[in-house]
Structure 1
Amino acid sequence: MTKVPVTHIDNALIDREAIKTMLARRIPDHTLEQPFYNSEALFRIDMEEIFAKEWIFAGMTCELPKKGSFVTVDIGLSPIIILRDNNNDVRAFHNTCRHRGSKICLGAKGKSPKLVCPYHQWAYDLDGELVFAGSDMGDDFDKSRYSLSPVHCRTAGGYIFVCLAENPPPIDDFVNDMNYYLEPYDLDNAKVAVQSEIIEKANWKLVVENNRECYHCDGSHPELLKSLLEWDDDNDPRSTPEFRDLVKKMQAFWESQDVPYKFQMRYENRNRIVRTPLKEGTHSMTMDGKVACKKLMGRFTSPDMGALRILHLPNSWNHGMGDNLIAFQILPVGPQETKVITRWLVHKDAVEGVDYDPNNLRHVWDATNAQDRTLSENNQLGVNSMGYQPGPYSKTFEFGVINFVNWYCERMAANLGE
């Protein structure tokens, strides 16, 4: 049995130097040492070195339909406001008043011509500029020095990404990819038909690892496997001749529809996009494989679009069909607690009860999310054991997990070295 080659580091002693030591000695293609999955100190460093320095999926542009529309998201201890300003641009700010630091926007979403702090009524314009602080600050008070603190924000094909770092890592190539692959969906003219939020009592990395493989699918996801084929493309060494034939057939059809499909990976495994077939004869991730929404998205004229699979590390995976798109977002809450948010998007003109049934739309992934929660929580309970040792990944079935763990370790090492 393979064992960790040096002495175990007590959780109470975890600091940046200890993490560097564990990264340097990690066994390739194996799970990480226990503190990466359950240490409070290491979790705080995850939030500082990964979630505060990488680009984070934060929402959809269609959630900001009008000037003054806003949504909020908490990235660790940092609450963020994302809004559509008076120039119709999407911007992001720290959700903390420049007076005494109170949280300004308390709800998950809303619409307002100004952002008014509920504590002392300081008010900010949609460009973050302080426009009212009352008369009690004195005649020499300079409002221009106390605008909201901005957060780096980029939109890409209808998705919103934010980065808390002063100097964010590159994202331009991925933005261009997203604009290209998502053009047929016209997500600015979509709507969130259904949204769910669940808490998984598991470390965020275990949640992502579970998503990055379908090794467990056959024994755990009967609803999902009514439509899903586990292979991304015909380069997968496990793919069958029948699957490769189906890929060729569907790619020829997508080409005739001017719909992008080719595999693309960016930034050392951080981002990957590919359109892949669903099971032949199925058009959507529903129990019967039929469309969940009669009104197709964007410019699609056929529902036979397979699934556009999009990965964005560290916190999102996605499936886009011809009739709906499912966007998954994770937000770490604690060392053994992760919020998983699922959005089901349809055409903005689709009518509930006429074009789609929300229960049918969400049924498969509600079941799958519940099953994945159980798997991840059981994984966490086992990892917490004093008997846990890093174990080997399957290079065939779990190559996606290996890619994720390699990306995480490389980014953590690079960010720690800054």
Structure 2
Amino acid sequence: MKANDLLNVRHANLADARIAMTELLENRRPNYSLDAPLYNDPHMFRLDMEEVFQKQWLFVGMTSEIPKKGDYFTIEVGQNPILVLRDGEGNVNAFHNTCRHRGSLICTEHRGKVANLVCPYHQWTYDLKGNLLFAGTEMNEGFDLKQHGLQAAHCKTAGGFIFVCLGKEQPEDEFDDFLATLETYMEPYQVENTKLAAESHMYERANWKLVLENNRECYHCNASHPELLNSLLEWDDTNDPRAPQEFHDHYNEQAAQWDAEGIPHLHQSFGEKQRNRMVRMPLKKGTHVMTMDGKHASKKLLGRIKNSQLGSMRILHLPNSWNHMQSDHFIVFRVLPISAQETMVTTKWFVHKDAVEGVDYDSDNLRHVWDATNEQDKVLGERNQLGINSIGYQPGPYSETYEFGVINFLDWYADTMLKGLK
């Protein structure tokens, strides 16, 4: 078969997949899980990548990971390698990590520091703003350096969070409102005065939506997460319909202390189906942070924080991040799809930049609860995927009380996909 014929077949398959996905999403039963192809079909996965991960704002990392000029990190969004770095003016920029000469990767390491960006293939050289500085003497006289700078990706920061959008145009939504509130809610932590203390990359044999679904409910927590429930209250937020009066009394007591210190805590949500959300939640009485004993993981509190019982400020950003901000450290989670049934979950722990490992904090203690929880969730997600792959699978009902977060997520996903597919 000739190349053009193969291309036509590929396009035909995608066109068929668009029609099939539209039909599945338009006819899906409300408050039920999705049909199997939406969790395991490669063509529908590609549509997920095109309509969600190549068009929506994605969380990629924290500004304190690249504190100085020339610091960078790289990520892969499907088949799209991305480079995030800080320029000489202190701005955070994002570029497609592909040389304008013949497309080679420019930065091949996960993290690093550069004076300029030099492609290792033919030494084309770019500055930290993506401008092409050098292309050798072999190019013809009419070659214009200015026309061959790196392809930029949209990049925004707020409260120390870095978001990237790979689309030609930025989505028209309430994202900037979310960023403004995120800036306010993150102010007490002074993220620029933190540092990355630990990082894990967990490969999970499950569709990215199953990873998010699992995160959006704690229905499974009692049976699966003993370490996490040493400190975490299972209620999703202050509006959780399951929460008893005892919880509200505990929250009100803690909130009075937060108000006295000027610490934001009220539930805030933005976008359709609470796509972006933040709320400060107390931890169990007597615990300070998410460690096995509930005691501090680091001796140095973050930013201007004085009250060690700050609970956890939970920040959700669909499609790929959830986060826990605490008094002495914070934890961020990033989800990036690999294939229809493979996902990379990255977890990062941050502490005060002056905290010394072995003196102020112990990495094993810092990581223990969420390392265990991540591994438990991996098992759950992979079992979920195996069951969905069965010919016996049929979409099942969600609990509107225990799994309302999952319902919100899938409603957002379905609405987003249908808008893109039409």
Aligned partner of residue 287 in structure 1, secondary structure: coil
Counterpart of 2:140 in structure 1 is: 138
CA contact (8 A) 1:95 1:103 kept: yes
Counterpart of 1:4 in structure 2 is: none
Q: 2:128 aligned to 118, 126, 129, which one?
A: 126
Aligned partner of residue 74 in structure 1, secondary structure: strand
The answer as to 2:192 corresponding to 1:188 is: yes
Counterpart of 2:404 in structure 1 is: 399
The superposition leaves residues 369-418 of structure 1 with CA deviations (integer Å, 9 ceiling, x where unpaired) of 0000000000000000000011100000000000000010011111222x
Q: 2:356 aligned to 351, 355, 366, which one?
A: 351
CA contact (8 A) 2:291 2:366 kept: yes
Distance in 1 (alpha carbons) for counterparts of 2:200 and 2:393:
33
CA contact (8 A) 2:83 2:94 kept: yes
Distance in 2 (alpha carbons) for counterparts of 1:308 and 1:202:
27
The superposition leaves residues 138-177 of structure 1 with CA deviations (integer Å, 9 ceiling, x where unpaired) of 2221111100011000001001000001111232111101
Distance in 2 (alpha carbons) for counterparts of 1:392 and 1:416:
26
Aligned partner of residue 24 in structure 2, secondary structure: helix
Superposition deviation, residue 235 in structure 1: 2.5
Counterpart of 1:241 in structure 2 is: 245
Q: Which amino acid aligns with 1:207?
A: V
Superposition deviation, residue 232 in structure 1: 3.3
The superposition leaves residues 90-141 of structure 1 with CA deviations (integer Å, 9 ceiling, x where unpaired) of 0111101000111111011111111001111100011101000000002221
Q: 1:199 aligned to 203, 208, 213, which one?
A: 203
TM-align CA RMSD? 1.1
Superposition deviation, residue 244 in structure 1: 0.9
CA contact (8 A) 1:14 1:42 kept: no
Moved over 6 A (4+): none
> What percentage of aligned pairs have identical amino acids?
57
Counterpart of 1:218 in structure 2 is: 222
Distance in 2 (alpha carbons) for counterparts of 1:309 and 1:153:
23
Counterpart of 2:7 in structure 1 is: none
Aligned partner of residue 407 in structure 2, secondary structure: helix
In structure 2, list runs of 5 or more residues that go unmatched.
1-12
The superposition leaves residues 30-75 of structure 1 with CA deviations (integer Å, 9 ceiling, x where unpaired) of 0000001000111111111100010001111001111111111111
Counterpart of 1:83 in structure 2 is: 85
The answer as to 2:312 corresponding to 1:312 is: no
CA contact (8 A) 2:158 2:180 kept: yes
The superposition leaves residues 276-328 of structure 1 with CA deviations (integer Å, 9 ceiling, x where unpaired) of 00001100000000010110011101211000000000000000110110000
Q: 2:95 aligned to 71, 84, 93, which one?
A: 93
Change (3 A) 1:104 1:236: same
More displaced 10-residue stretch of structure 1: 396-405 or 161-170: 161-170
CA contact (8 A) 2:217 2:236 kept: no
In structure 1, list runs of 5 or more residues that go unmatched.
1-10
Matches within 5 A, 1:36-185: 36-169=38-171, 170=173, 171-185=175-189
More displaced 10-residue stretch of structure 1: 11-20 or 287-296: 11-20
Given the two structures, how large is their TM-score scaled by the length of structure 1? 0.96
Q: Which amino acid aligns with 2:181?
A: D
- What is the aligned residue count? 407
Given the two structures, how large is their TM-score scaled by the length of structure 2? 0.95
Distance in 2 (alpha carbons) for counterparts of 1:58 and 1:33:
29
